[in-house]
Structure 1
Amino acid sequence: MMTACMIDGLKALLSDLGVDVPIPAFSQSDILRRPIDIYRNYLADTASKVLGCDSALAYEAIQSANIKDNSDLTLVLPKLKWRTDKPKDLARDAFIKFSSTPLFQLPIPDGVHLRFIFSTLTLPQLILTYISDRSEQYGRGSLLDGQPTPKKAIIEFSSPNLATEFHSAHLRSTIIGAHIANLYECAGWDVVRMNYLGDWGKEIGLLGVGWSQFGSEEAFQENPMSHLYDVYRAISESFIPEKEASRKARDEGRDTAEIEGRGIFAERDRFSKRMEDDEPEEMSFWKRMRDATITYYMQEYERLNIKFDEFSGESQVTPESIAEVESVLKEKGIYEESDGSWIIDYSKHGPKSLGVSVLRGRTGSTSYLLRDIAAVLDRNKKYAFDKMIYVVTSEQDVHFQKLFQALRFMGQEDLAAKLEHVSFGKAQGLAQQIGEVHLLGDILDRSIKGAHDVLESDDISHPEINKTDESAKVLGITALITQFCGLSKRVSNLTLSSKTLVSFDAETGPNLQLCYSRLCAKIKESDSDDAVLANVDYTYLQDDPWTEVIRILAQYPDVTDAAYKNYEPSMILTYLFRLVEEVSNCLEDDDEEENGDNEQTKTSSGEPPEAILAQTVLYKLTRQVFDNGMALLGIAPLVSPA
């Protein structure tokens, strides 16, 4: 019923604009989610009629124009299979067959393309009404091909280890993973946000050994995570000589069993084995450390506007699923014993490039890979998921290839097909940017302090921004999110810049917040009870720079769809910065008119109330799109001064 009402409303709006209805229909189109699809449908229908080609073919031949093309849609003529006696004159011959319509200006011939520009006579009313009708739902909606119930997706991201450093790869996983989860939710999925902690195995055994030597109850009570990190670092330094001796023996082709059977090696392995055997003392220690870690991270993730539905971990993998994995692999002839360990030799079964992996060591301890395989079975039983995405650095590509292939060896091809590793490049320069830090809370604190220092600086004067601790918090977190999201593709390595962390220039988080604050201030200054869509005279929005803002607003749902399909939240950030640029042009034009050199200039440049009202409504709807896009990135808007 709601869909029928929205269709009827859209038809009525188009009819008022002089556009013929009913709206042409295409299976790939979603005119209730994407306003530009309305233009695509009409252009495809018109092209098929005037050029005498198949309408479906015409729809496929329409592309969104590049920003530099100074157009909105492009018709790629060779894709139409339209015949002409003069191929070089293809665009010119096609051009003369088109006329202007209520939705389009006359096309522009460009090689083998026709470029189309939306008519500014109808653009403001169509797009602003469309956005107003949807408000916070603009850009949201199901992309799941009419599924009666939402599909379920598990997004695993962040995944730090107990007591060890929270490094830049964890932070980038946290930020990109949260964005992907938001995009999937925006697209209509039922999303489970999962943090799979490194809370088991030999590294926890090493922490247990370290606690017996360096642990302090008093220091732990005062600052649990900081003390655990200090303990782990101290025992790791003590362990270095033994690790180097083992590595040297292995490189020389000698057996490492003797070296690894004594000292810290042996203590670590005994501790982790006692954990696997559920010994009370070791399990009590592990539970205290795990609980303290989860409590700490829940607080710090909240500062990043991120919440997890489940804190899972290697420790939570069930013995039953581990046994199932080993049993099936043995039955399939994949699992074999080698020098007391149990392995998969991928070089025998394919692909050879994956080499050999130990699933259970000679001490009886399970490996990370074995626990990861079993975790997939556990999650499938619990959630019956349709897709599971691991947001993990590209350095783990081989691990996930092994994981997916092991499931195929088990005859779980369908389950393996539901898994995807979404990788990302390195983030370099964190220490140079904010100083030497090791824990998430320290990273956030340093970034916020940097923002606070900038706000207190005499070099910064932005009356739209309160110089408060709360503003510093929002700016510091925004700066981190935007830098770790990045404007380039996620697979690219990222070099963090200390110069732009809390800069209000160009494409930075603080500049995004500054534009938002200026927009809010302008709305507050101009707002009245009459500033509603029903009272807008659209003739005041039919010229630059207003039409440029409206064109970008129309693109928002297409951008969210592309970001979702490509796992590229950077597309949302890039879009928001384009919107910042155009909105800033509008605000600067307003400021110039208000601040003329003399009274005569102010009077002559003053705009009628109808123009101010129309611009205020545009600013309100622009703020709504900012809100929608920033929410996808987990960015809380900065509150403007009262």
Structure 2
Amino acid sequence: MAAGSWRRSIAAQLSKVLDLPPENLIKSISAVPVSKKRHVADFQLSIASVIENSSSDCLAQDLHLQAQKLAERAVLQQVFKDGSEYGVKSEIFSAVPRQKAVIEFSSPNIAKRFHIGHLRSTIVGNFIANLKLALGHEVVRINYLGDWGMQFGLLGVGFQSFGNKEKLKSSPLQHLFEVYVQINKAAEDENTKKLAKDFFRKLEEHDEETLSLWKQFRDFSIEEYVQIYKRLGVHFDEYSGESHYREKAQEVLKMLEDKGLLQKTTKGTGIVDLSEKKDLSSVCTVMRSDGTSLYITRDLAAAIDRMNKHSCDTMIYVTDKSQSHHFQQLFQILKLMGYDWVERCQHVSFGLVQGMKTRRGEVIFLEDVLNEVRSRMLQNMTSAKTTKEIQDPMETAEKVGLAALIIQDFRGLLSSDYQFSWDRALQSRGDTGVFLQYTHARLHSLERTHGNAQLTDVNVACLQEPDAISVLQHLLRYDEVLYRSSQDLQPKHIVSYLLTLSHLAAVAHKTLPVRGSAPEVAQARLCLFQAARSVLANGMKLLGITPVTQM
């Protein structure tokens, strides 16, 4: 069990009262499940297991009250002692083995501007990586770029026909997008289709001229993506891509053939029979008739390579739910190939975002959304009477705007589609990211005004008011919420917890003034607000939000 946990602290103090060894008591103290929305202490003490055959109701009530008060006192000490590790050091996680996780997320297609469809994959993958890292697991973040395949045959031919090298240097992805639109109009023509196939075949055969052009597309794309990731506060340990596996994909085809799993159709394409009865009622195509690889073949090669390289305990793919069938097939083929570790692979899917329009209309590019949320937030901050003179309003607006996007996205189940609403996302009151940031900034300003509370000087007995106790009891719950999110990889548990914490802190801020109170009371309240701000900041960072100190 984690040393210094609040349960251990309560057990140590109760042992003095009850004259029992603390070890006997730890097992009797358990947290009340988060789902029980009751106004009681957030843990319970099993009286029966402490005092066998006891029928004394008075003793039971007295113990419960004592234990409740002890827990409320202990929680503040725990928050300050553990700091950014509060909650994750809880004994709830003591039985959870530390593991290595490879997480593939974001994965945009190169030579295209960062599409809004990749925002969810990026922020969800980042959240899962942050959470696992915080819980002491080793994490490898992989961005698996869509940088290979027949579309590059088409784009290559398009660039040879309509491309401009100067434009490629000055605004690469915008120019390639324009080229792609033009060549797609021409793609109905059989001759264009043939040229595109030839171009891709040359790529697969390592033709220097076509590879050089493709490499420019890839390098320019990554440069532009890195800027977007910087704005999102996201980083990767590894930039990989389908192109890395063009040769290994051929090895996979050979392996499938050797294992008797590869079958040829009359058209010459390579398939794997996935049907239970082996009657070809469910097949997966893994090779074109000209011998070139497909997306799934490269995915097979990537999975095998990653497992060999990282020997990870779990491999997580974060993509939208339209790819569920693809991952079912991928995992099925790996199983047929005899890779038992496929049981440790997981597809975390998510629904679609609808109705994301900027003032200029329907939007498909992420950069436009980030610029829009920043400018709307800046406008709101400027018109708000409470806005202080902020050192860098643009940067603050960016962070608050991103919080608005993330909280609206994370409030529901990831698998659900949801309707995006600017007005709802940017409200400063209510269950929004703006409200979280506002609460954090407000609590921070208390510390700026009154200085930091020293825990040694604090008399927690001064915190008797119901609004103070509500905050204390809510702080006790944090480890359970982290545990729930770690089990199902859903951020909504943490979002809901942080919104409630912010509402409780906002009420307490009104009813429990620091200024003008007796020194001992002021110090205790300051300590309470500091603990609330600390846990709020920890939770926000896990979600991928940078807390602001002014707004």
**Per-residue deviation, residues 312-362 of structure 1 (Å, max 9, x unmatched):** 01001162x323422232233321111121112323656977x33221111
For the pair 1:196 / 2:150, whether they are aligned, the reply is no
Distance across 2 between alignment mates of 1:588 and 1:289: 56
Letter paired with 1:497? S
**Per-residue deviation, residues 235-282 of structure 1 (Å, max 9, x unmatched):** 22332x45xxxxxxxxxxxxxxxxxxx322212211111111111011
Q: Is the 8 A contact 2:76 2:528 kept in 1?
A: yes
Aligned with 2:381 (options 452, 455, 459): 455
Q: Is the 8 A contact 1:17 1:122 kept in 2?
A: no
Q: Is the 8 A contact 1:332 1:409 kept in 2?
A: no
Which residue matches 1:68?
Answer: 37
For the pair 1:100 / 2:86, whether they are aligned, the reply is no
Which residue matches 2:239?
Answer: 311
**Per-residue deviation, residues 145-204 of structure 1 (Å, max 9, x unmatched):** 475xx4211000111101235334311111111000111112221100011110001112
Secondary structure at the aligned position of 1:192 is classed as strand
CA shift for structure 1 position 75: 8.0
Q: Label 1:322 to 1:198 Cα distance change in 2 as closer, same or farther (>3 A).
A: same
Distance across 1 between alignment mates of 2:192 and 2:227: 34
Q: Is the 8 A contact 1:433 1:496 kept in 2?
A: no
Q: Label 1:470 to 1:5 Cα distance change in 2 as closer, same or farther (>3 A).
A: closer
CA shift for structure 1 position 472: 1.3
Secondary structure at the aligned position of 1:312 is classed as strand
Aligned with 1:524 (options 440, 443, 448): 448
For the pair 1:439 / 2:365, whether they are aligned, the reply is yes
**Per-residue deviation, residues 362-406 of structure 1 (Å, max 9, x unmatched):** 132210011101111111121111110001111111000000000
Q: 1:52-451 residue pairs with structure 2 within 5 A?
A: 63-64=32-33, 66=35, 68-72=37-41, 96=57, 99-102=60-63, 104-105=64-65, 119=68, 121-141=69-89, 143=93, 145=95, 147=97, 150-164=98-112, 166-239=114-187, 241=188, 262-317=190-245, 319=247, 321-338=248-265, 339-347=267-275, 355-412=282-339, 414-431=340-357, 435-451=361-377
Distance across 2 between alignment mates of 1:517 and 1:546: 19
For the pair 1:513 / 2:437, whether they are aligned, the reply is yes
Distance across 1 between alignment mates of 2:279 and 2:501: 47
CA shift for structure 1 position 9: 8.2
Aligned with 1:613 (options 523, 527, 533): 523
CA shift for structure 1 position 481: 1.9
Which residue matches 1:473?
Answer: 398
Aligned with 2:418 (options 489, 494, 497): 494
Length-normalised TM-score, structure 1: 0.78
Aligned with 1:533 (options 455, 460, 479): 455
> Which deviates more from structure 2 when the two are superposed, residues 544-553 or residues 439-448?
439-448
Secondary structure at the aligned position of 1:289 is classed as helix
Secondary structure at the aligned position of 1:105 is classed as helix
Distance across 2 between alignment mates of 1:237 and 1:476: 37
Distance across 1 between alignment mates of 2:295 and 2:251: 16
CA shift for structure 1 position 415: 2.0
Distance across 2 between alignment mates of 1:11 and 1:362: 70
For the pair 1:627 / 2:532, whether they are aligned, the reply is no
**Per-residue deviation, residues 279-319 of structure 1 (Å, max 9, x unmatched):** 10111111111111111111111111110111101001162
Letter paired with 1:99? A
Distance across 2 between alignment mates of 1:374 and 1:184: 26
Distance across 1 between alignment mates of 2:79 and 2:360: 40
Which residue matches 1:50?
Answer: none
Letter paired with 2:33? S
Secondary structure at the aligned position of 2:270 is classed as strand
Q: Label 1:396 to 1:496 Cα distance change in 2 as closer, same or farther (>3 A).
A: same
Distance across 1 between alignment mates of 2:55 and 2:177: 69
Q: Is the 8 A contact 2:116 2:366 kept in 1?
A: no
For the pair 1:504 / 2:428, whether they are aligned, the reply is yes
Secondary structure at the aligned position of 2:357 is classed as helix
CA shift for structure 1 position 553: 1.0
> Whose Rg is larger?
1
Distance across 2 between alignment mates of 1:145 and 1:5: 17
Supply the RMSD in Å over aligned alpha carbons: 3.1
For the pair 1:569 / 2:491, whether they are aligned, the reply is yes
Distance across 2 between alignment mates of 1:396 and 1:403: 11
Distance across 1 between alignment mates of 2:85 and 2:278: 47
Letter paired with 2:289? R
Q: How many residues align?
A: 541
Letter paired with 2:149? G
Letter paired with 1:508? T
Q: Label 1:19 to 1:462 Cα distance change in 2 as closer, same or farther (>3 A).
A: farther
Aligned with 1:42 (options 28, 42, 49): 28
Distance across 1 between alignment mates of 2:29 and 2:8: 21
Which residue matches 2:470?
Answer: 548
Q: Label 1:518 to 1:156 Cα distance change in 2 as closer, same or farther (>3 A).
A: same
For the pair 1:482 / 2:407, whether they are aligned, the reply is yes
Q: Is the 8 A contact 2:204 2:246 kept in 1?
A: no
Letter paired with 1:175? I
Length-normalised TM-score, structure 2: 0.90
> Structure with the greater relative contact order (CA < 8 A, sep ≥ 6): 1 or 2?
2
Q: Is the 8 A contact 2:445 2:549 kept in 1?
A: no
**Per-residue deviation, residues 512-566 of structure 1 (Å, max 9, x unmatched):** 11111111112222226xx211111112112210111111111111111111111
Q: Is the 8 A contact 1:329 1:409 kept in 2?
A: no
Q: Label 1:95 to 1:579 Cα distance change in 2 as closer, same or farther (>3 A).
A: farther
Q: Is the 8 A contact 1:201 1:365 kept in 2?
A: no
Distance across 1 between alignment mates of 2:230 and 2:18: 48
